[in-house]
C-alpha cells in the first residue's frame, strides 16, 4: 500500500506541535525559585571565595568551582529569558535576561538575536555562521587558503576551544557589537561594556583587581568551559545532521541535529536540563524546568542518547563530509587524496 509522505509529515508536524504546547507555559513560582537557588548562591559563593583568600587560595579554588556551576545556572536563566520562555511577561524576561547577562558578561539583546538565528538555521549548510560552531565541509577546507586552514585548525583544537574559548568569548568577543544588527542589540553591548568597566573600577577601589581576577577567572573558566563543551556536543556528535537548504527540514534538524546528552543528575541540574537539546530545539518556548517531563512523557522524543563516554569522540571531529554524511577528522582528507587518480607525465 502506498504511503502518502506529505500527509505523514503533516500529521507528525501537528503531533509534535500539539505535544510541546502542553509544556510551554512558564510557572512564575518555579522561575523565581530558580533565580533564588541560582543567582543568590552564586553571589554568596563569590564572596566566600574572596574571604577564603586571606587564609589560603587552595581553599578559594574549590569554592570557585562550585560558584562556576551556579554561574552556569545563571546563564541558563539568561538563555531561557532570551527565548521568552522563563516568564509569561516579556518585560520580566528582558529584565532578568539583562541582569543574568551582566553576571556572565554577555550582552542580552545581541546574544538573543544571534541565538534566534542559530535556532532558525541549525543544521543548514547554506546558512551557517551566526550563533553556531564554525564548521567547514571537507571540500571547503581543501579549497581554503593556508591561512584560513591554520585559523580553522586552531579554532577546532579542543585545547584552544575549551581553555582559551571561554575567555575569548565572554571577555573579548562579547565586548564588540555586530554591525549588521540593530540599535537595541548595539546598545546592549555598550551597556554591558559600561557595567563591566564599572565593575573593574569598583573592584580596583575596594578588593583590588588582582583578587577579583583570582576569584573571577577560575569561576568563569568552570562555567565557560562546561558551557562551550555542552554546546559543542549538542550539535557536533556522531550521527548529527547537516543538509543543504533545499533539503533541510526543521523537525529532522531538531531531532537528529541536536543531541540528547544524558548526564549525571547533578550535572543536569547545574546545566538546567539543556542536555535535552533535541526538545529544546523543537520548542525553545519550553522553560528548562519542563524539558525533563516533556521527554519522559512522550515516546516521540525517546531518541538514542549521547553519553559522556560517547561524547568524547566529538573531540576528533573537524569537518562535515557531504559525501559520507558524517563528521570526520583529518584522515578523511588523506583517504580522499589517496583515492584521487594521479596523472603520469609523459605517459602514452
In the chain, which stretches have pLDDT less than 70?
1-14, 335-348
**What's the pTM?**
0.90
What is the pLDDT, as a whole number, of residue 133?
A: 94
Percent of the chain with pLDDT over 70: 92
pLDDT of residue 250: 93
| Sequence-distant (≥ 6) Cβ neighbours of residue 187 within 8 angstroms | 109
**Confidence (pLDDT) at 178:** 86
What is the pLDDT, as a whole number, of residue 338? 55
pLDDT digits over 173-226, tens only?
Answer: 999 998 888 999 999 999 999 999 999 999 999 999 999 999 999 999 999 999
Q: What is the pLDDT of residue 336?
A: 64
What pLDDT score was predicted for residue 179? 85
Give the per-residue pLDDT at 180: 84
Amino acid at each position: 500500500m502506498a504511503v502518502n509522505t506529505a500527509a505523514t509529515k503533516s500529521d507528525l508536524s501537528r503531533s509534535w506541535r500539539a505535544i510541546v504546547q502542553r509544556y510551554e507555559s512558564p510557572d512564575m513560582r518555579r522561575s523565581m525559585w530558580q533565580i533564588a537557588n541560582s543567582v543568590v548562591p552564586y553571589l554568596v559563593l563569590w564572596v566566600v571565595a574572596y574571604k577564603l583568600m586571606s587564609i589560603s587560595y587552595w581553599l578559594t579554588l574549590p569554592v570557585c568551582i562550585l560558584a562556576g556551576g551556579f554561574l552556569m545556572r545563571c546563564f541558563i536563566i539568561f538563555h531561557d529569558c532570551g527565548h521568552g520562555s522563563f516568564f509569561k511577561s516579556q518585560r520580566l524576561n528582558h529584565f532578568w535576561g539583562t541582569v543574568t547577562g551582566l553576571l556572565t558578561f554577555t550582552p542580552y539583546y545581541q546574544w538573543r538575536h544571534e541565538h534566534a538565528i542559530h535556532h532558525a538555521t541549525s543544521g543548514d549548510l547554506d546558512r551557517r555562521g551566526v550563533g553556531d560552531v564554525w564548521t567547514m565541509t571537507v571540500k571547503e577546507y581543501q579549497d581554503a587558503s593556508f591561512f584560513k586552514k591554520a585559523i580553522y585548525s586552531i579554532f577546532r583544537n579542543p585545547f584552544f576551544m575549551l581553555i582559551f574559548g571561554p575567555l575569548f568569548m565572554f571577555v573579548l568577543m562579547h565586548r564588540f557589537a555586530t554591525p549588521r544588527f540593530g540599535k537595541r542589540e548595539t546598545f546592549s553591548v555598550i551597556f554591558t561594556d559600561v557595567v563591566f568597566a564599572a565593575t573593574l573600577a569598583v573592584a580596583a577601589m575596594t578588593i583590588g583587581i588582582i583578587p577579583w581576577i583570582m576569584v573571577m577567572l577560575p569561576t568563569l573558566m568552570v562555567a565557560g568551559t562546561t558551557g562551550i563543551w555542552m554546546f559543542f556536543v549538542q550539535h557536533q556528535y556522531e550521527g548529527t545532521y547537516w543538509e543543504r537548504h533545499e533539503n533541510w527540514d526543521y523537525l529532522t534538524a531538531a531531532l537528529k541535529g541536536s543531541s540528547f546528552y544524558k548526564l549525571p543528575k547533578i550535572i543536569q541540574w547545574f546545566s538546567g536540563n539543556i542536555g535535552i537539546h533535541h526538545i529544546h530545539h523543537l520548542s525553545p518556548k519550553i522553560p528548562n524546568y519542563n524539558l525533563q517531563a516533556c521527554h519522559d512523557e512522550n515516546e516521540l522524543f525517546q531518541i538514542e542518547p549521547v553519553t559522556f563516554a560517547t561524547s568524547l569522540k566529538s573531540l576528533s571531529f573537524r569537518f562535515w563530509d557531504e559525501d559520507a554524511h558524517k563528521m570526520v577528522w583529518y584522515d578523511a582528507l588523506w583517504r580522499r587524496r589517496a583515492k584521487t587518480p594521479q596523472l603520469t607525465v609523459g605517459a602514452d
